[in-house]
Amino acid sequence: MLDFNEDKPIIGVVHLLPLPGSPGFESLEPILTRALSDAKSLIDGGVDGLIIENYGDRPFMKRVSKMTVSSFSMVCAKIEEMCDLPMGINVLRNDWESALSMAKSLGSSFVRVNVYIGCCITPEGIMEGEAGNIMRFRKKHDIDASIFADIQVKHADVHYPKDMVTAAVEASERGMVDALIVSGKRTGKPVDLEDLEKAKYSVDVPVLVGSGIDDKNVKEVLNHSDGAIVGTYFKEDGVTSNPVSEERVKHLLKEIERYR
């Protein structure tokens, strides 16, 4: 079960500006200002939860620095002060240990793990899923956060499992994941509905859509999923790097309420 008030929650993304240690970092003040403003727009617009990610830290690292974790945690703590919604953490590109450690200290509801099972080639290099280590780490440190895992993850050439059904079943049954995420090929790109249906109807855990939701496809997408993570559509002019537009958030949530 997902820990949200709505049966099919809409989770808004707070994309952080470049954090200390990344090539694009300039200063902490604009990072915090943008993050709090985006979070407020998402909350006031009516989302059911938030997920915070270090989207500005390109080129991404497989494991991030202590500098990144400390500043990332500070921003999350400030957002948490103004938010009583479920909150998640995604440490790009695939630093599940940092994400779970942050979730433990912050009391976050969930973390997103981009490569949870199998093996794929990404712009950051070869990545292998570490479901066994992840679940043992969570158990060892008594971390309550749920694991939301991508399958057939975007921005990657997946070598195993190649097909969506196998990926979903392996992650949910052998991987014991709490929820699955199915996305398009790249950030902001729509999900393949056939792939979404394959995942949704082959497992017993919730399946979320991780990219490409808009006011035209939301009804059809939610009909075959258990919720969605929305980033790009909520931004001004639908551009991922722009600030969140509260008007766009309200517009999409209005469309969703008609469906609900």
> Do the beta carbons of residue 161 and residue 203 sit within 8 Å?
no
Closest among 36, 45, 34 to 11, alpha carbons compared: 45
pLDDT in tens, 123-141: 999 999 999 999 999 999 9
Given a cut of 70, whether residue 1 has pLDDT beyond it is: no
For 135-162, what is the mean pLDDT? 96
Confidence of residue 173 (pLDDT cuts 50, 70, 90): very high
pLDDT for residue 54 is more than 70: yes
Going by C-alpha positions, the residue among 10, 8, 6 that lies closest to residue 249 is 10
pLDDT recorded at residue 3: 82
Res. 79 pLDDT band, cuts 50 70 90: very high
Q: Which residues on adjacent β-strands are paired with residue 120?
A: 127, 158
pLDDT for 139 = 98
Instruction: Note the pLDDT tens digit of each residue in 190-214.
Output: 999 999 999 999 999 999 999 999 9
Q: Would you say residue 144 has pLDDT above 70?
A: yes
Contact 228, 222 (CB under 8 A): yes
Q: Quote the CA–CA distance of 250 and 260 in Å, as a whole number.
A: 15
Quick one: pLDDT at residue 185? 93
- Mean pLDDT computed over every residue of the chain: 96
In CATH, the number for domain 10-259 is: 3.20.20.70
Q: What percent of the chain has pLDDT over 70?
A: 100
Average pLDDT over every residue of 133-154? 97
DSSP string, 215-260: TTTHHHHHHTSS-EEE-GGGBGGG-TTSPB-HHHHHHHHHHHHHH-
* Residue 166 Rama label (left phi>0; alpha psi -120 to 50; beta): alpha
